[in-house]
């Protein structure tokens, strides 16, 4: 991959997050990765104006549980978007394929059902090193990308109501 940091972005193109209330759900599995992704998301949201009291951070056991947790969180009317953070690393069985497919489809379904942004910040990597490279390593931080995407999608949704 030629580009070294996939999380580079133009901060002037990011909406002010001060009026937004955002949920962040992170899987406990692979904590050396998910903790870094979570920190990247929280720091970025804060840098763009999201107040600590408007940030709801929760943990779930694994990546598979992100879908139902996002649906539960969006069952409350005061959450503008949810960022789902997880990490699935290829093993020797087909479990990887089933989990990745279920979570990606599940997150899409929740977003469509709840009509609010649900952001896919789930790493699906072949190796732990690939995951670490995308969790604050040489390829940036997917949590940062998720935070920026959430802010832009909330602004987009609100622009449709203007």
Kindly report whether the global pTM for this prediction surpasses the value 0.75.
yes
Catalytic residue check, 139: no
Task: State residue 52's pLDDT score.
Answer: 97
Task: State residue 8's pLDDT score.
Answer: 86
Ordered by where they begin, the domains of the chain are 20-160 (3.40.50.960)
Among residues 4, 5, 32, 95, the one annotated as catalytic is 95
What is the mean predicted confidence (pLDDT) over 147-162? 95
> Mind listing the pLDDT tens digit for each residue in 23-66?
999 999 999 999 999 999 999 999 999 999 999 999 999 999 99
Residue 157 has pLDDT above 80, yes or no: yes
Residue 1 has pLDDT above 50, yes or no: no
Task: State residue 4's pLDDT score.
Answer: 64
Question: Which band of pLDDT confidence, cut at 50, 70 and 90, is reported for residue 3?
Answer: low
In a 10 Å sphere around its CB, with 0-12 CB exposed, 13-18 middle and 19+ buried, how is residue 41 labelled?
buried
> Mind listing the pLDDT tens digit for each residue in 85-140?
999 999 878 889 999 999 999 999 999 999 999 999 999 999 999 999 999 999 99
- For residues 116 and 81, give the distance between their C-alpha atoms in angstroms, rounded to a whole number: 6
- For residues 86 and 149, give the distance between their C-alpha atoms in angstroms, rounded to a whole number: 16
Residue 7 has pLDDT above 90, yes or no: no
Question: What is the per-residue DSSP string for 61-77?
Answer: SSGGGHHHHHHHHTTST
């Amino acid at each position: 991959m030629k580009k070294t940091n996939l999380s580079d972005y133009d901060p002037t193109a990011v909406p002010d997050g001060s009026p937004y209330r955002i949920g962040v759900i992170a899987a406990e599995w692979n904590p050396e990765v998910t903790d870094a992704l979570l920190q990247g998301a929280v720091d970025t949201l804060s840098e763009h104006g999201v107040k600590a009291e408007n940030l709801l951070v929760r943990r779930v056991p694994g990546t598979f549980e992100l879908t139902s947790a996002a649906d539960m969180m969006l069952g409350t009317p005061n959450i503008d978007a949810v960022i789902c953070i997880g990490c699935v690393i290829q093993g020797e069985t087909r479990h990887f394929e089933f989990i990745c497919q279920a979570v990606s489809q599940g997150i899409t379904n929740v977003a469509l059902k709840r009509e609010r942004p649900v952001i896919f910040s789930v790493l699906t990597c072949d190796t732990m090193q690939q995951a670490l490279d995308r969790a604050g390593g040489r390829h940036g931080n997917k949590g940062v990308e998720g935070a920026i995407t959430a802010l832009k999608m909330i602004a987009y949704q609100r622009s449709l109501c203007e």
